[in-house]
Structure 1
């Protein structure tokens, strides 16, 4: 038995090995039984072992799943997790490992593994990664097209490009290479927006779901300023001194990033402008309510226009209170129905 070859293999595979690989390193069945009896190796799945008795790390679970199902590769959320590396709070490392196999194979599901059949597996996988995984753009398209909520579909696309694990061009190619894809039109539109560079998916959502259908005034976008070095304002209603900053962080941003955002807001405040910082929920889940509130802020600062009720707006209220209750100068403006 080649101990050096085994050690190299364990090192590459986070302490996990398949029986087949052990045999290729010169081990025989007696060696495997002895190592298991001594608890130097512990069985994870039939024919797959780990070289310790403690709890498995996520990477060990991933390697065990891939080796058990081989030829196979991580896919969907597991492929995304592997590409991102450790330390991302949004991943549930206790969830089943998602693995892709060729559609021609029949393989029963196992505890801790979720098996998918993927057409063109050979060309959609990075076989040289540790462990092998679906190409990032392929995994992201799968996640986005199968997301329960539209907001999650958009986030999968935008976050992957922001994390620089893929590009809008690669996402486009992966989408175009597929036949039937749920939400194809939406995914195509968002990929185009991301590809433009200056317009994020969240900015497009604000324009198409908040500003335009509710008759808000047309804003300036990506307005360049140099208060403390070059910076860009996401949405600026110049005539009324109102800024909209769109924060696409779905999860915890760093302390430094949060501090920089607050400094931007403070810089705007020194010029007499007010800033509203909106996220995915305000733009996609509560777009009508957001439009009413932005309209109220604009009206306070001189806008004389009327909001338009879009098809998604609730039947009530027909009037929007443009100033807070108890304000002696409060007025109401009727909400105009769209044609």
Structure 2
């Protein structure tokens, strides 16, 4: 649990409670009783405690995906925090989240697979048949599904299979990747995506991200 208090207030340490002190505590409260932070300021408090940019990105993506706060609200609150940790890198993350990346894995796919290899920009969160596809490459009929969780529950596994089957019935190919695929083997994922895209456009350009990258 994260709790923000006025800078000079003293409280006893409690197990599993992270205390954050703020000199401008009173200026960043929502107009509710009992007093509490605005959603955007609450997110930025946790971002400021995040050890890495990935952790900060995950906090922002999950908060916005929940619907409790919008990227534009976080961006507005960010303008008032010139010394916030990771501040310089947060605006591009907010832009990507606003465009439809709803998790850290989706942000990493966008950065490490799509952009670093010069692939076309996919459509995020396309609505189809009452659900949303993570990434859809319009004109190429390719769906990329991203899931960072390990599904040991049969119902979830069967739901994923059903989504893939229905995509096939729409004449769409599906590539599905997990956390290890995108963080550990992004070049191989990019090559697979490129091969499917080139079925429609054989001369589609891409670029290797380094000397050993298999993308050509």
TM-score, normalization by structure 1: 0.49
Equivalent residues, number:
213
CA distance 1:255–1:120, change in 2 (3 Å): farther
Gapped regions of structure 2 (runs ≥ 5):
none
Aligned residue runs from structure 1 range 232-247, under 5 A: 234-236=135-137, 238-239=139-140, 241-247=141-147
* 2:4 aligned partner: 100
In the other structure, the counterpart of 2:98 is 195
Q: 1:119 aligns with which of 20, 23, 26?
A: 23
In structure 1, how many angstroms separate the alpha carbons of the residues matched to 2:160 and 2:198? 26
Choose which of 290, 302, 307 in structure 1 pairs with 2:189. Answer: 290
**In the alignment, what sits opposite 1:221?**
123
Matched, 1:173 2:76: yes
Q: Give how far 1:148 is off.
A: 2.6
Q: 1:160 offset after TM fit, Å?
A: 1.0
- Number of the residue aligned with 1:273: 172
Q: 1:279 to 1:147 in 2, by over 3 A?
A: farther
Change (3 A) 1:168 1:220: closer
Q: Deviations over 1:276-331 (max 9, x none)?
A: 12355544564334223433555678745575221xx4x54x6x4xxxxxxxxxxx
Q: Deviations over 1:96-144 (max 9, x none)?
A: xx43332234x37535254332121123245624xx5433321211222
Counterparts of 1:159 and 1:251 in 2: how far apart (Å)?
18
Corresponding residue SS for 1:99: strand
Bigger Rg over Cα: 1
Structure 2 residue 189 is matched with structure 1 residue 309 = no
Match of 1:147 in 2: 50
TM-score between both structures, scaled by the size of structure 2:
0.72
Any stretches of 5+ residues in structure 1 without a counterpart? 1-77, 79-97, 321-334
Distance 2:149 2:44 in 1: 18
The answer (yes or no) to whether the contact 2:133–2:145 under 8 Å persists in 1 is no
Q: 1:166 to 1:108 in 2, by over 3 A?
A: closer
Give the Cα separation in 2 of the matches to 1:128 and 1:174: 21
Considering Cα pairs closer than 8 Å and 6+ residues apart, tell me whether 1 or 2 has the greater RCO: 2
| Deviation, structure 1 residue 275 | 0.8
How many Å apart are 1:265 and its aligned residue?
Answer: 1.4
Q: CA 1:242–1:230 in 2, change beyond 3 Å: closer, same or farther?
A: closer
What are the superposed Cα offsets for residues 177-198 of structure 1, whole Å, 9 maximum, x if unpaired?
21212222322122233334x5
Q: How does 1:44-123 map to 2 (within 5 A)?
A: 78=1, 98-105=2-9, 107=10, 110-112=13-15, 113-123=17-27
User: Are the structure 2 counterparts of residues 282 and 156 from structure 1 closer, same or farther at C-alpha, using a change threshold of 3 Å?
Assistant: farther
Compared CA separation, residues 145 and 102, structure 1 to 2 (3 A): closer
- Closer, same or farther: CA 153–223 of 1 in aligned 2, 3 Å: closer
